[in-house]
Structure 1
Amino acid sequence: MSSELRKAIIPVAGLGTRLLPISKAIPKEMVPVVDRPLIQHVVEEALAAGLNEIILVTRGGKSAVEDHFDSHYELETELEKKGKTAILETLRAIAPPELKVTSVRQDRALGLGHAIHCAAYLVQPDEPFAVILPDVLVKPQVNSKGVDLKAMVEAYNGSQAAQIMVEEVPLERVNQYGIVDCQGAELAAGESAPIASLVEKPSPEEAPSRLSVIGRYILPGSIMPLLAETQPGAGNEIQLTDAIAELITQGQAVAAWRMQGRTFDCGYVQGWLQANQTLGQEAGLLG
């Protein structure tokens, strides 16, 4: 039996080029989505799924991301003195007592697989961990409180199979994503099915399905040695999907878990604006 699933690796070392010029001096993970930065949304998602040990894979110029989860004694004291209890509690909720945040450095931009491997020394060989890509927000449907990541954690706990969250995309857009091959299995929202292979950005004619990977994974600690041996692939980068493909080749069970909620790709200006507009309206902050 593997160790309990508590850790989530969040890569935050990217340059944020798709959000320029917004991200020139501000880490992209710190751009606001409604009333709090993107990274806070993602950490709240992890906590709601029972993942309280956060590992940030970072680089120089990203200290604001780490600082966001530090206590600010002077500010809290001033708010308390002025009786601003509501905002004080909001600040303290950013980093609740159960949250543990650790940072590791990615010294070179060699791809997602390399970023994950930078945290290898913090993960035991028999210890599962989640990977959360902070560009993509995963939110429940309107009038739902379901947390997809929590449901996927439960699917992992029930099966011990690695899990990759997926959503269905239009056929003409499959060439923008990693696509999973579940050998024709019909996958309803909230269900999982074994993955036979992954295909990176296939043409519509070659796509084995329309189920795209959306940046949420639950993986075994045994993938870390595979990442160490993975050669640069697409874009001359070390790809996480290549190591997952090797897991499958070695007989490790890997499943696609189809999400029930919605995604907002905040790595693009259009997606970031859409997230602010939609979620701001739902929060009653916009007309």
Structure 2
Amino acid sequence: MRNKVTKAIFPVAGLGTRFLPATKSVPKEIMTLVDRPLVQYAIDEARAAGIREFIFVTSRGKGALEDYFDHAPQLEQELRKAEKTELLEILKSTNMDSGEIAYIRQHKALGLGHAVWCARRLVGNEPFAVMLPDDVIAAEKPCLQQMVEAYEETGGNMVAAMEVPADMAEKYGILDVQEDNGNLVEVKGMVEKPKKGTAPSNLAVIGRYILTPQILKNLNKMKSGAGGEIQLTDAIAQEIGGNDGVYGLRFGGQRFDCGSKAGFLQATVAFGLARDDLKDDLRRYIHEIVALDKAAE
């Protein structure tokens, strides 16, 4: 029987410079998408997949992120007094119990692989997930839950994958596919940010991973890769052809790159339109501005 995946690493040490000046004082991960911080979407997805231990790799200036998951007794008391039961339940759902969450500092920005390696002592000798909160995925069944279910069949290492336009491949880690079984592919190679025209496929890795403890041993070698950073992709690629193997899962759902302003705005519209309490007003507004644009032409 395979070990269950119950631990997840959330690398959140980045400075969020693309969102300055907002990120001068607010960590990007707690910027709100409609009315929930980006990181809350990732936490909810992880919980749905059976994750019970949450490991955040942070850096200086992320105190507000840590505070977000703490209890807020005064606010809870005011909501209770005002009998705002629904809001109280929403607030309680964001709390993390003592021992459920841990914070590790990444003192130098040496890449995603290094950020994951920083959490090695808390992971131990167990399979673990890695989730990048910048990638927000709208799906009927949460993406990580889809991956956990596939992992229970395959074992090994698994990455979430989606098809991207050929001219965008250079922005991603790209899979070289050994065998394509529809949603699940067996991987024979991985290339981080290939030069234009050299990508082995258009199947890109996005910010969800299930990994074996061997990946952490590979990261111990600390070899820099693309961009002079320690790449997680390189550590995973070392397992191709080994006992564990590497698989890609074409997940069901829509991914939004909330690390970019355009992606964040697109996600805001999509998630707003999915809300019963917002969709009518939002749809009406969108129709109005589209009509104005057409009239201006």
Is the shorter-chain TM-score for this pair beyond 0.5, marking a shared fold? yes
Work out which of the residue numbers 145, 167, 182 in structure 1 matches 2:177: 182
Q: Judge conservation of contact 2:180–2:186 (CA < 8 Å) in 1.
A: no
Normalised to the residue count of structure 1, the TM-score between the two structures is: 0.92
Cα offset, 1:97, TM superposition = 5.7
Work out which of the residue numbers 247, 254, 259 in structure 2 matches 1:262: 254
CA deviations 1:136-173 (Å, max 9, x no partner) are: 10111xxxx21221011011112212110000011111
Q: Judge conservation of contact 2:160–2:206 (CA < 8 Å) in 1.
A: yes
Q: Judge conservation of contact 2:11–2:116 (CA < 8 Å) in 1.
A: yes
Aligned residue number for residue 136 of structure 1: 135
Aligned: 1:162 with 2:157: yes
Cα offset, 1:72, TM superposition = 0.8
Aligned: 1:5 with 2:2: no
Aligned residue number for residue 77 of structure 2: 77
How many angstroms apart in 2 are the aligned matches of 1:222 and 1:283?
Answer: 42
Aligned residue number for residue 292 of structure 2: none
Aligned residue number for residue 153 of structure 1: 148
Richer in helix (by share): 2
Aligned residue number for residue 225 of structure 1: 217
Aligned residue number for residue 277 of structure 1: 269
Secondary structure at 2:113's aligned position in 1?
Answer: helix
Q: Judge conservation of contact 1:2–1:128 (CA < 8 Å) in 2.
A: no
When the two structures are aligned, how many residues end up with a matched partner?
A: 279
Secondary structure at 2:170's aligned position in 1?
Answer: helix
How many angstroms apart in 2 are the aligned matches of 1:64 and 1:24?
Answer: 12
Counterpart residue identity of residue 36, structure 1: R
How many angstroms apart in 2 are the aligned matches of 1:226 and 1:234?
Answer: 16
Secondary structure at 1:79's aligned position in 2?
Answer: helix
How many angstroms apart in 2 are the aligned matches of 1:203 and 1:150?
Answer: 33
Work out the percentage of aligned pairs sharing the same amino acid. Answer: 46
Secondary structure at 1:47's aligned position in 2?
Answer: helix
Aligned residue number for residue 230 of structure 2: 238
Cα offset, 1:231, TM superposition = 1.0
Q: Judge conservation of contact 1:230–1:243 (CA < 8 Å) in 2.
A: no
Unpaired segments ≥5 residues, structure 2: 284-297
CA deviations 1:241-267 (Å, max 9, x no partner) are: 111112226443110111110000000
Unpaired segments ≥5 residues, structure 1: none
